Amino acid sequence: MDFSTFMQQMVNGISLGSMYALIAIGYTMVYGVLRLINFAHGDIMMVGAFIAYFAHANGVPFGVSVVIAILGAIIVGILTDKIAYKPLREAPKISLLITAIGISFFLENLFNVLFGGIPRAFAAPAYLTKVIKLGSVMMPVTVFIIPIVTLLILVIILWILYRTKYGMAIRALAFDIPTVKLMGINADFIIMIVFAMGSGLAAIGGVFYAVSYPSIDPLMGIIVGLKAFAAAVLGGIGSVAGAVIGGFILGFTEIVVVASMPELGGYKDAFAFIFLILVLLFKPTGIMGQDLDRSRF
């Protein structure tokens, strides 16, 4: 493989990694605060992509469509928490996990019924599909925009978490919910913010995905969601920076490994799983290493 192809694949990898990163952040924040793997999170990404698609297909300018998609996803995410997760805060963990799977399945099939399972082409605006040339490498401009936007978002999220009082409350909740409540903080409100943030990011990730692989279908969220969670575990579950690092590593690996060894192409989707198993075997706390599940004695 020559250098320009390699560079091309590198950049593709970073681009894919950014998408995983955006979705992984939502998983890791909800897990950090509620110890819940929100199976429906990947499907929220799908919802975001579909809303953007329909808004744009009906003539709404692309930028506005994205904003609508983010808002729509936030609403779905918050509603999911209010209706399905909040009533089960004190219930055994398995009830919550079953409910999350139920919501995930619900969203997939609902969108399947409403819009059909056949993939639709996502018409991105011209300024995003423009291809630019760097040396001998030709790449769509999105491949640069996506990582930059992702890093910007990461900076914003970290700023919120470490420089605002809401962020501090979120971090405190990750340690001990009852104590936080005793401090007079409205835990439910903070949790709602967490879901909102995660869902909004997933929607952006969904739009990026739709623009890069211009097709969307109701089941797109499952595999991407699974991989994003694996990325979150790889980076260290509960850590936002870790989710981003894990996302980039995973995206990178998928593209570059397959580009260097095309015979492994069919196994691309298995890498996330392999990473997950390796992390659990050798360093369960992941790259950023926070031990969230220290037993409560």
Partner 1 sequence: MVIEKKHFIQLFLFVVSIWFIWFAQNHFDPYTVSILNNIAIFAILALSYNMINGIAGQFSLEPNGFVAIGAYITALFLIPTDTKIDMFALVDPAPSVLAMHLSFLPALIMSGIVAAALAFILSVPVFRVRGDYLAIVTLGFGFIIRIFAMNNPKYTNGAMGLNDIPSVTNLYWSGFIAIIAFVVMINIIYSKFGRAMKAVRDDEDAATAMGVNTFWMKTYAFMTSAFFEGVGGGLMASLLTTISPNQFTFLLTFQLLIIIVLGGLGSMSGAILGTILVMGGSEWLRFLDQDMDIFGYHTGAHPGLRMVVFAILLVVMMLFARKGLFGDKELTEIFKRTKK
Q: What is the closest distance, in whole angstroms, from the C-beta atom of residue 123 to partner 1 in the complex?
A: 25
| Long-range CB contacts for residues 111-120, cutoff 8 Å, separation at least 24 | 111/46, 111/47, 111/50, 111/218, 112/218, 112/219, 115/50, 115/218, 117/217, 117/218, 117/219, 118/217, 119/215, 119/216, 119/217, 120/53, 120/215, 120/216, 120/217
The rounded distance, in Å, linking the Cα atoms of 57 and 51 is 10
How many residues make contact with partner 1 (CB under 8 A)?
A: 48
The rounded distance, in Å, linking the Cα atoms of 287 and 277 is 14
Coil, strand or helix at 131: strand
- For residue 171, give every residue at least 6 positions away whose Cβ sits within 8 Å of its Cβ, in sequence order, or none: 161, 162
CA angle 290, 34, 287 (to 5 degrees): 20
Torsion angles phi and psi, residue 268, rounded to 5: -50, -45
Specify the stretch interacting with partner 1 by CB under 8 A; choose among 138-146, 151-159, 172-180, 219-227: 219-227
Specify the stretch interacting with partner 1 by CB under 8 A; choose among 7-15, 174-182, 243-251, 275-283: 275-283
Q: How far, CA to CA in Å, does 62 sit from each of 19, 51, 208?
A: 19, 11, 12
Residue 295 contacts partner 1 per CB under 8 A = yes
Output 1 or 91, the one with its CB closest to partner 1: 91
Specify the stretch interacting with partner 1 by CB under 8 A; choose among 34-42, 158-166, 204-212, 253-261: 34-42
Coil, strand or helix at 138: strand
Candidates 64, 138, 162, 269; binder of partner 1 (CB under 8 A) is: 269
Residue 287 contacts partner 1 per CB under 8 A = no
The rounded distance, in Å, linking the Cα atoms of 241 and 158 is 8
Specify the stretch interacting with partner 1 by CB under 8 A; choose among 2-10, 81-89, 239-247, 253-261: 81-89
Candidates 57, 79, 261, 280; binder of partner 1 (CB under 8 A) is: 280
Contact 41, 23 (CB under 8 A): yes
Residue 284 contacts partner 1 per CB under 8 A = yes
Beta-ladder partners of 138: 133
The rounded distance, in Å, linking the Cα atoms of 185 and 190 is 8
Alpha-helix residue ranges (DSSP H) falling in 58-88: 62-80
Output 133 or 296, the one with its CB closest to partner 1: 296
Output 125 or 284, the one with its CB closest to partner 1: 284
Footprint on residues 97-126 left by partner 1 (CB under 8 A): 97-99, 101-103, 105-106, 109-110, 112-113, 117
Output 64 or 91, the one with its CB closest to partner 1: 91
Residue 297 contacts partner 1 per CB under 8 A = yes
Q: What is the closest distance, in whole angstroms, from the C-beta atom of residue 87 to partner 1 in the complex?
A: 6
Q: What is the closest distance, in whole angstroms, from the C-beta atom of residue 31 to partner 1 in the complex?
A: 9
Specify the stretch interacting with partner 1 by CB under 8 A; choose among 68-76, 170-178, 189-197, 273-281: 273-281
The rounded distance, in Å, linking the Cα atoms of 274 and 70 is 32
Output 124 or 254, the one with its CB closest to partner 1: 254
Q: Give me the residues that bind partner 1 (CB under 8 A), please.
A: 35, 37, 39, 84, 87-88, 91-95, 97-99, 101-103, 105-106, 109-110, 112-113, 117, 222-223, 226, 229-230, 233, 237, 266-267, 269-270, 272-273, 276-277, 280-281, 284, 292-297
